[in-house]
Amino acid sequence: MPRRVVLDCDTGSDDAIAIMLAAARPELELLAVTAVWGNHAVRHTADNSRRTLDLIGRPDVPVHAGLGGPIDPPPAAEPAKASPERATLPLPAATTAVDPQHAIEWLVQAAREATDRFTLVATGSLSNVAAAIRADPEVVRAVDELVVMGGVMERGGALPDVETNIGNDPEAAERVLAAGFERVVLMPLDTTYRATVSAEQCGELQGGGGPAAAIAADLIEQRIERYRTLPALAGRTAAPVHDALTVAYLVDPTLVTLHPAVVTVHTGHSPTRGRTDITLEPAGAVHLALDPDALRFFDLLRASLESL
């Protein structure tokens, strides 16, 4: 039986590749994509999710648009985004409409009606997930595993102090981590930056992989261009594809090693708002994904994209 998965994301190029990966794998049944704000305004993340699924021939997977800003307090206006010109992914226009049901309503209904539990993968701001469990705490029990791309453990090195998904809505992240999910896996920047995809590997994807692989390669090449000047990459022609690694963990958990950890989120008006304090402790409630096998991740990604 394939594992039932809901992907809550802020599509975004790496989320788009995560959607392709989730849709490609026979081990996973992608029940729905719920879009949240983050990389872009939610109308764009929903449209980008729809474009991605239509492109790969999956109009059957519904996309529900969710929250356009943080939960606590909700902003008076949509948060401004730095690069509105990049808000729409360079993919053909969607041929299927975004489902009119709001993502929170859908998540709550899916949880209430589920006879089998599902896995929730969150690769955007945690606003939708926090709002869904606030609307109905039963959502927590309907989820067998919550997998979150978010947070950063390293301090004072080359990685950013604040990871975007947690930093966008720290109150939501705090609420989600404390909600009592049976199993929580966190994929931090420390790990995604160690499983980068290189320009050379993009060439391999373009070389013989079919249309989805070629489009993913284009998206990764654009990421490489944008990330090139970041200290964490030190001029390397490679980029992390954070959200795809997060879905890849579900397909093959041996791509990383899991370490029990205690995770605390800095909230409120603190100047360190959005930071995560992460300590490895045997009694920790979060499973922190570390030590990725970058080559095996790429092999899995390539084989999956080529199958589309």
Task: Kindly list the catalytic residues.
Answer: 242
The DSSP line for 43-60 is HHHHHHHHHHHHHTT-TT
Taking alpha carbons only, the member of 256, 260, 255, 307 closest to residue 279 is 260
Map the footprint of ligand RIB across residues 101-130, applying CB under 6 A.
123-124
> Token pair for residue 194?
């160690």
From the list 12-20, 128-136, 201-209, 272-280, the region that binds ligand RIB by CB under 6 A is: 12-20
Of 209 and 240, the one with the shorter C-beta distance to ligand RIB is 240
Pick from 49, 165, 201, 304 the residue near ligand RIB by CB under 6 A.
Answer: 165
Q: Is 163 in the site for Ca ion (CB under 5 A)?
A: no
117-156: which residues touch Ca ion (CB under 5 A)?
123-124
The least CB distance from residue 15 to ligand RIB, in Å, is 5
Residue from 5, 7, 15, 110 touching Ca ion (CB under 5 A): that is 15
Cβ distance 175 to 169 under 8 Å? no
Closer residue to ligand RIB, CB minimum distance, 108 or 245: 245
Our finding on whether 149 is near ligand RIB (CB under 6 A) is yes
Encoding tokens for residue 237? 């022609």
Pick the closest to residue 305 from 226, 194, 159, 202 (CA basis). 202
Shortest distance, CB of residue 73 to ligand RIB, whole angstroms? 22
Position 169 contacts Ca ion (CB under 5 A): no
CA distance 279 to 49: 34
DSSP three-state, residue 34:
strand
| 243 makes contact with ligand RIB (CB under 6 A) | yes
Mutual angle of helices 103-113 and 127-135, in 10-degree steps = 50
Q: What are the angstrom distances between the C-alpha of 238 and each of 11, 139, 160, 180, 293?
A: 20, 38, 17, 37, 15
Cβ of residue 67: shortest distance to ligand RIB, in angstroms? 14
In the shown chain, the binding pattern of residues 23 to 42 toward ligand RIB, with x for contact by CB under 6 A and - for none, equals ---------------xx---
Q: Which of residues 231-290 bind Ca ion (CB under 5 A)?
A: 243
